[in-house]
A and B are shown apart, each in its own frame.
Chain A
Amino acid sequence: MKTIDALGKACPIPVIMANKAIDGGETAFTVLVDNDIAVENLKKAAGYHGYTFASTQRGDGNYETVFSKDGACVPEAPQQSAAPAGTDYMIFMGRDVIGAGERELGTNLARMFFFSLAESGDLPAVIAFMNAGVKLPTLDEQVVESLKTLAERGVKILVCGACLNFYGLTEQLKIGEVSNMYDIQTEMIHASKTITL
């Protein structure tokens, strides 16, 4: 069985190495990694591609993860029904509610969205707020709390400075960095996808 040495490789390299083996048609192989986050990411990748996955921690603290796919062994369904998202997607919030319709409902949907995003395993690289969207990282306590969690987990939060100024909210920014059209546009162009709410 082929062994891929991904020791010392930072995320997402181990997953990329595993994906290469999968693309190359390997039906059984081992990936060596040195941290449990890599194990979790490899597990997701295995589920996504329909491989069975097993991991054991060796005496030296490193992990040996085994991918296998054979006819006799029906792969278990992945734990998450959705495919793992990329780590370079972006969320653009151009308003302080989700969707068009009753404001009270839209506010609830926005709070629920950021609440569950903060608990999600598939985080965006960037969240950008523009126009009335800037009311969320300033005035909405619950969304601010979720954004703080997201920021702690490494998500970049960009808030349009001109918009803060327009609404008189510059002094009330609770989380995120004051940004501008150039930076937000650059992030959009480089993101694998931008989800606009």
Chain B
Amino acid sequence: MPQKPSRYKVIAFENTHDAVAAQRLLAGAPYRVMPTPRAITAACGIALRVAPSDERAVAEKMTGPEWQRLHCALYQITDGVGERIEKLDGED
């Protein structure tokens, strides 16, 4: 049976174009593309998964005006349950 890590963070996006644009901005950072977990319903299908040990390296790249224009939110996934931690873009 699959051994799923029970805790990780996910960046979920309002639309797929932002999900693709975010990957360009995060080039070189340690993340994995995954289908958005079913627990997150208010987002598009592409999400970026960040392991606990990689959070800092990814966060360092999540800055600047281009990132601010993306519509996305950070979620904590614990045993398949998603909890929104913060909205990451500058707008409402």
Contacts and interface: CB of A to CB of B under 8 A. Distances in A.
Interface in B1-57: 1-2, 4, 16, 19-20, 23, 32-35, 45-46
Interface of B: 1-2, 4, 16, 19-20, 23, 32-35, 45-46
Interface of A: 37, 40, 104-105, 108, 111-112, 115-116, 118-121, 142, 145, 153
B1 A40 contact: yes
A112 B20 contact: no
B2 A108 contact: no
A148 to B, nearest CB: 13
B33 A142 contact: yes
Nearest to A118: B2
Contacts of B1: 37, 40, 121
B20 A108 contact: yes
Contacts, number: 33
A108 B4 CA distance: 21
Contacts of A116: 34-35
A112 B46 CA distance: 8
A120 B35 CA distance: 13
Contacts of B32: 111, 115, 142, 145
A120 B2 CA distance: 7
Q: Sorted from nearest, which 3 A-B pairs have the closest CB atoms?
A: A111-B33, A112-B35, A119-B2
Nearest to B33: A111
26 contacts: A37-B1, A40-B1, A104-B20, A105-B20, A108-B23, A108-B46, A111-B32, A111-B33, A112-B33, A112-B34, A112-B45, A112-B46, A115-B32, A115-B33, A115-B34, A116-B34, A116-B35, A118-B2, A119-B2, A119-B4, A120-B2, A121-B1, A121-B2, A142-B32, A145-B32, A153-B2
